[in-house]
Amino acid sequence: MSNNNKKWFSLNLGRKEKAASGSCSCGKTSGGCGGASNSHHITDEEFDVAAINASIGEERTKDGFEQVFDVKMDRRTAFKKLTASLLIGAGAVSTSCSVISSDENKEKSQIDWEEQFKGNYKLMTDEEKNGTVDRLVRSYQLRTGKTISMSSKNAEEDVLFGYAFNISKCKGYMDCVNACVEENNQDRNSQMQYIRIHEMKDGKGFNFNEADDNYYHEVPAEGHFYMGTQCFHCDNPPCVEVCPVQATWREDDGLVVVDYDWCVGCRYCMAACPYDGRRFNWSKPEVPEAEINHNQHYLGNRMRKKGVMEKCTFCVQRSRAGKNPACVEACPTGARIFGNLLDPDSTIRWVLENKKVFRLKEDLGTEPKFWYFMD
Amino acid sequence: MKSNINMMGKIVCFSFFLLAFFSCKHHENEYHSITDKIEAESKNYHGTSISSEAYIGEIETIEITEGEHTFLIPERKSQIKSYACTECHSKPLEKMQRKAIKKAHWDIKMDHANANTMNCVTCHNPDHMDDLKSLTGNTIDFNTSYNLCNQCHTKQFEDWKGGAHGKRIGGWAPPRASMTCVNCHNPHKPHFESRWPARFNTQKVKERE
Amino acid sequence: MRRLRVFGSLVKDSLDTITHGSKRYHLWMALLTFVMLFGMYCYSIQLEHGLSVTGMTDRVSWGLYISNFTFLVGVAAAAVMLVMPTYVLKDIDFKQAVLIGEGLAVAALIMCLAFVVADMGGPSVLWHMIPGIGVFNFPNSMLTWDVLVLNGYLFLNITIPLYILFRHYQGKEANPKVYIPGAILSVFWAVGIHLVTAFLYQGLQARPFWNNALLGPRFLASAFAAGPALIILVLAIIRNFTEFKIQDKTIKKIAMVVTVAAQINLIMLISELFKEFYAPTHHSESAYYLFFGLDGKDALLPWIWTAIPLNVLATVLLTFHKLRNNFKVLFFCCFILFIAIWIEKGFGLIVPGFIPGPYGKIAEYTPTGIEIGVTLGIWALGAFVFTILAKTAIGIELGTLKYKKNEGI
């Protein structure tokens, strides 16, 4: 992150830009300065928690990354933690002398500081975007020892994403919902899902009131048809208008995205969305470590924290790389079509030009980029 | 005193007016609707650097041109387990079907239209098993079996060519690679089976109690 | 320099005043402190576990906090009903009441801000909303307008009384040329805060229950009924427990304000009910839910059917001069009117806006204990702030609090 030309306030509490080599005052480059580094290594993990708590308060430790602390422990780690908590008193003394805390811990708290006081992603330069992504990847690595790949790929020129849904093809299998949850690392506890499939009675029109979006019986059910809804990525999105801090916006390729780190959690956007496209993390989102999708995008499926909004991004981590969103790929009936609206030869354009398409609540002027059609 | 109030009132009114004026939404988009916008902006479409080619992966494809659409479909022959058929079907069919019991293809049960309309030889050529045949007896290659389907399913064929029917291989970006009919539909039993949904949301039930 | 010294002395004296009082006063303050601590405890639980400890869901995403916020903005705005005649029209009647009214506005605004903060999912990143430091989506987001007008109003309502009290404290008269422009501005501002708050909801095309042109005016009418009603009650209490003299005439005049506002509010309510139920459309479902329940879901029925009769009863009683001039009836009316509008404009407005959801799904909302605890805590905070302000103001106005020149710091 370049220190000049910042567009926002950032607290620099006397912390110098950390040198890449990361040596502390004693000159050693790793393993802490003290002699008996081995016995203290046990406490490092616990120290980290304590250090973050002390430096940035309770709130910070409870973000989406904290789920890494909830990884099921084997007996060895459990024992380690236990020992650590016993040793913490002794450890606290040595940290206060600031000789012991390892380079890793310093780096962790450094990252946490910079993340807490970084700016709005929307206004970042590409360098700054890379900076925050690198920090997040490093932070994840430091905490879990696992590597993720996180992209900050920008919108491409001459791309405007659009989506079409064939209501005569959808059979209500909900494979799309599962694929979406797995792809986008949604909270498993609250069973958050971006997509809803509404089971509607034939001959009643689009009667959402009588439709069931949480059926469990063999599908397709006799005399019913199925209609999926999710975020429609409106071209004139009301949610973006109302956000007081511009934490959600419409990207140039038409995706309506959220900066999870900038969102203050007022839920005004949720009230403003006519399509039920937004979800809120009422408690800390949790995904079992084994199920985490490691291919992430800053604006997409990276780990969220408690108290922020999230939503369908047309799988920005996939779509900007040329893949179809997970729901499109998972659909066994081919009811979902995705593509570039600006490409005259794209399949989505063919659908819009040759099928009878319609959108939901068109009268609201939100201009959804999500069309429905029938065979 | 009175004039003071008047003055104040005027100033307040004026500032309200100014505020209202400057806060009017300045629409950056000059288009009336999204369709207008798409039309206008795609006029000078130059293509993108994004490609889905990498995601087609191992799948071997062939390029086909149907009407004004040119795209890739998976190569089929290498995917059929016992192709070429003539490795077994060395004799005409009548000579192979001597007993009442089936010795091969016992797992195939026709469930495609009714018996009046279709049987095996509607599509397969009993004299030359390596190719398919059209209703009029012309040869159709296994790789382009969609030509067989489109004899009856003309509407689906139109939609498929355009991209409204069927699925893409790889991703949305060019080059377009689409699955062909038999990648999703079993030609002997083309409909989709009914089954249970992949998920049931217990949390939603609680929420709506 | 001298001013600073006087100010320091004022702070010291007022600290002295608020820490001394009768047994009853101490008991009252202790009770408030206890409730506040309880609220803070509840809030700490909410911080720890997230907003999932409240009754809110993705379906009904605003609840008790925002309901109270909306109502209290009205109470704060209502202080203006006393400010205007006093400062501008030189109506001496209101002069004593107005300081109380402005104190009430300050307390209400502090509660508003507290409710908004309590409702936030990420209070630790609220600095994102500070203009200049964060990103302020002005003028697009009505919420940023609300932040501006609420804080501006808070500033006005602190500075004007402070100036007057500061002068009186030194035994001098306040200079009208200084405070009258501020007073006039605050008159417009008060209407502004309430309209802006109404626009917060009114501007959402997604929620037909809110998206109607009458919402703003109805907000004003109900605010100008509930706010002064509360002021009457507070004045009655102050009259009883302190030596601060408030004439009957003052209370009667405020009662007049309450009556007219309540009548207008009732007319608007009838107009709204007519529109929803004479020719019901798809958009009337929220109103059906509120008044009659939908699909067997009827959690709000007891609330709204308490509010409507109370509202009508109070308005009818207040309309008769004889009844209104009887203070016992008046206080009773003010009390039930306050309750009725609190329900109508809090719960009765916010919750049905979300029901049924965009796709017709009904998930009902019931606040949890923790939510109620935090709410009570914030109300206690408001009462606490108001008591402190009122006690100091009354002290200065009665002349017991006075600047002594030779008293240094």
Structure confidence by residue, pLDDT tens digits, A97-156: 444 467 888 888 999 899 889 999 999 999 999 999 999 999 999 988 899 999 999 999
Token pair belonging to A240: 């973006």
Q: Looking at the predicted structure, is the pLDDT value of residue A74 above 50?
A: no
**Residue B96's pLDDT is what?**
76
The ipTM, to two decimals, is 0.91
Q: Give yes or no: residues A50 and A177 share one domain.
A: no
- A112 plus A165 within the same structural domain: no
Query: How far is A366 from chain B, CA to nearest CA, in Å?
Result: 10
| Residue count (chain A) | 375
The mean per-residue pLDDT over the stretch B156-178 comes to 94
User: What is the model's pTM?
Assistant: 0.85
The DSSP code for A345 is T
Question: The domain containing residue B96 runs over which residues?
Answer: 60-192
Query: What is the mean predicted confidence (pLDDT) over A364-368?
Result: 93
Do A250 and A169 reside in the same domain of the chain?
yes
Quote the CA–CA distance of C12 and C21 in Å, as a whole number.
Answer: 16
**Which residue's entry shows tokens 């994840």?**
A140
Give the pLDDT confidence of B127-150 residue by residue, as tens digits: 888 999 999 999 999 999 999 999
Partner A contacted by C48 (CB < 8 A)? yes
For residue C373, pLDDT over 70 is answered with yes
Q: Which of A56-60, C178-182, C347-351 has the highest mean pLDDT?
A: C347-351
Domains of chain C, each with CATH number or no CATH:
2-398 (1.20.1630.10)
Q: Is residue A155 part of a domain?
A: no
Is B167 within 8 Å of A158 when comparing Cβ atoms? no
pLDDT > 60? residue A4:
no
pLDDT bin (cut points 50, 70, 90) of residue A78 is: very low
Bigger pLDDT: A155 vs C407: A155
Tens digits of residue pLDDT in B42-88: 998 988 899 999 999 888 999 999 999 999 999 998 888 878 888 88
* Residue B46 domain-assigned (yes or no): no
Instruction: Give the per-residue pLDDT at A23.
Output: 38
Asked whether residue A197 falls in the same domain as residue A89, the answer is no
- Please give the residue that has the higher pLDDT: either C177 or A93: C177
pLDDT range class, residue C138, cuts 50, 70, 90: confident
Q: Do C122 and A265 touch (CB under 8 A)?
A: yes
- Domain membership of residue B49 (yes or no) is no
> Does one domain contain both A287 and A341?
yes
Are A245 and C135 in contact (CB < 8 Å)?
Answer: yes
Are A191 and A61 members of one domain? no
CB within 8 Å: A267 and C142: no
Tens-place pLDDT, residues C294-331: 988 999 999 999 999 999 999 999 999 999 999 999 99
For chain A, the domain total comes to: 2
Interface contact B25, partner C, CB < 8 A: yes
C134 pLDDT tier (thresholds 50, 70, 90): confident
Quick check: B207 contacting C, CB < 8 Å?
yes
As given in the structure block, the two tokens for residue C366 are: 């019931």
Provide mean pLDDT across the span C33-55: 96
Residue A346 pLDDT more than 90?
Answer: yes
- Mean pLDDT on A182-186: 95
Asked if the structure places residue A144 within a domain, the reply is no
Closest-CA residue of chain B to A367: B34
Find out whether C295 and C222 touch, Cβ atoms under 8 Å: no
Q: Which residue of B has its CA nearest to A220?
A: B194
What's the pLDDT band for A88 if we cut at 50, 70, 90?
very low
Angle between helices C215-241 and C327-345 (to 10 degrees): 140
> Is any Cβ of chain C less than 8 angstroms from the Cβ of A244?
yes
- Do A111 and A167 lie in a common domain? no
Looking up tokens 């639980």 gives: C45
Tell me if B97 is assigned to some domain: yes
CATH number at residue A321: 3.30.70.20
Q: How far is B102 from chain C (nearest CA, A)?
A: 54
Give the pLDDT score at B196.
95
Looking at residue B20, its pLDDT comes to 62
A213 lies within 8 A of chain C by CB: yes
Same domain membership, residue A210 and residue A334:
yes
Chain C hits for A119, Cβ within 8 Å:
135
> Shortest CA distance to C68 belongs to which of C108, C105, C126, C120?
C108
Residue with the larger pLDDT of the pair A44 and B50: B50
Nearest CB among C181, C188, C363 relative to B207 is that of: C363
| Residue A101 and residue A191 in one domain | no
In this predicted structure, the answer to whether residue A35 has a pLDDT above a threshold of 50 is: no
Is A268 an interface residue toward C (CB < 8 Å)?
yes
At residue C408, the pLDDT reads 44
Interface test with C, best of B3, B4, B15 (most C CBs within 10 A): B4
pLDDT for C269-296, tens place per residue?
Answer: 999 999 999 999 989 999 999 999 998 8
Q: Is the peptide bond before B84 cis (omega within 30 degrees of 0)?
A: yes
Q: Which of C124, C133, C356 sits opposite A209 (nearest CB)?
A: C356
- For chain B, the maximum distance between any two Cα atoms, rounded to a whole number of angstroms, is 118
Which range among A29-43, A58-72, C332-346 has the greatest average pLDDT? C332-346
Count of the separate structural domains present in chain B = 1
Whether residue A14 lies inside any domain: the answer is: yes
* A124 in any annotated domain: no
CB A171 within 8 A of CB B198: no
Q: What range defines the domain where residue A84 resides?
A: 1-117
Using CB atoms, which residue from C59, C139, C184 is nearest to B5? C184
Which pLDDT score, from 0 to 100, does residue A93 have? 43
**Is C47 in the A-facing interface, judged by CB distances under 8 Å?**
yes
Instruction: Tell me which residue of C300, C298, C299 sits closest to C308, measured CA to CA.
Output: C300
Which residues of chain B are within 8 Å of residue A347 when distances are taken between CB atoms?
A: 162-164, 168, 172, 176
pLDDT surpassing 90 at residue C405: no
**Mean pLDDT value across residues A241-253:** 94
Q: Does residue C174 have a pLDDT over 80? A: yes
How far, in Å, CA of A315 to CA of A329, rounded?
A: 11
Please judge whether A214 and B184 are an interchain contact, meaning their C-beta atoms are less than 8 angstroms apart: no
**DSSP code at position A279:** E
How many angstroms separate the CA atoms of C368 and C52, rounded? 10
- The arrangement of strands across the sheet holding A336-340 comes to A336-340, A161-166, A370-373, A357-358
- For A161, residues 6+ apart whose C-beta sits below 8 A from its C-beta are A233, A253, A254, A255, A314, A319, A338, A339, A340, A341, A369
